[in-house]
Chains A and B, each alone.
Chain A
Amino acid sequence: MRDKLYLAGFLLAAGLLLYVGRGLLERSALVTGVLVFAGTTAVGVLGLTLYQVQNQLLASRRELARKEAEINFAREVQVALFPRQFPTDSGLEFSAVCVPAAGISGDYYDVLQLSDGRLAFAVADVSGKGLPAAILMSNLHAGLHILVEAGHSPAELCAQLNRHLCQFTEAYRFATLFYAEWNSSERCLTYVNAGHTEPLLVGANGSRRLATGSLPIGLFPATQFHVATTVLAPGDVVVVYSDGITEAGVLEAEPFGERRLEAVVKAHRHQPLSEIEREVLTAVENWSGKDPGDDMTLLLVRATAAMGEAL
């Protein structure tokens, strides 16, 4: 209160002095003062505005650096979720790659050698991109590992994953999943395709798609998942991929498409899987440009000859 009185007192005194001294000097003396104070105020306001802009710029840079550090950390965590090495004595050989569009990926691939001798592999594509998709992807990874170890059949495994996602994610979040189990003694692949792009099977007798499908997981709790089987001959190559591969370049002109993918795989079918993988990525890059518009995942699986069996 006393401070306010001082404030009012000083301003009143200034007003009083102004009143008492009116007419003592020409108005131009006042104009000079007004111009000087207005000019200084303008300089001060300009300086403060520049300071504010600089502060905002610095804050943006810090925020950007923090987010980049977070994404780098998330990328490290995510890299650890992908298999470090593939099983070698199961009758299948593997090669896989995941190229994220936004630093971290919502795509997922996995190859699981289970304690009971079963071998499973999966490719999933979570809706969206970046951090939200990556968080859901890690959730999917954990769920899949737990359910596979529990010994569920492919259909039951997908049903449980579906219920889990429906329960714990928003309605617009879902994932497509291709899950397969390999029986090496019968050379039989049992799979469920939950809304995923149809994998390509390239063999000596041509190529076909593993077309049996169901809805993606995480959309409807009561979705039924259809199981299909196929026998793999030695040398057959199964190409499981995310839509980032076939839809590459869709924004610029025509998408890369399944036909081109099939042509590349067919042309290099007898080469090592890592070579086929390289050829596919090069073809996609040449088609669409350097930066992927969507996460790209490619899992190549080749049936090898059993012991004593010739190709």
Chain B
Amino acid sequence: MAKSSIKIRAKTKKDVTTVKALMTHPMETGGRKDKKTGKLIPAHYIQEIVCKHNGATVLTADWSGGVSKNPYVSFKFAGGTKGDSIEISWSDNKGGSGTQSAKIK
């Protein structure tokens, strides 16, 4: 499975940086049934994400399976200039993880 598939877009406007990120993940809650077999599909979802700006953490999040498949997250922080690095990483309940970094545009 493609693990580090995070798309990040970050823009600075009037000293406020807006970061938008899209991750590829099934986000199974564990409460859904396979239509063919009638068995529960095991839970598989992102539990933690960490977002860093130039190496300093600006946002961490704890998620349940209630976040939609292929999760989207957006947040803002004060400061940040063009060319700064934004790094986002996630880890899921099965021990999988992904990291991606991008530059502020």
Are both chains from one complex? no
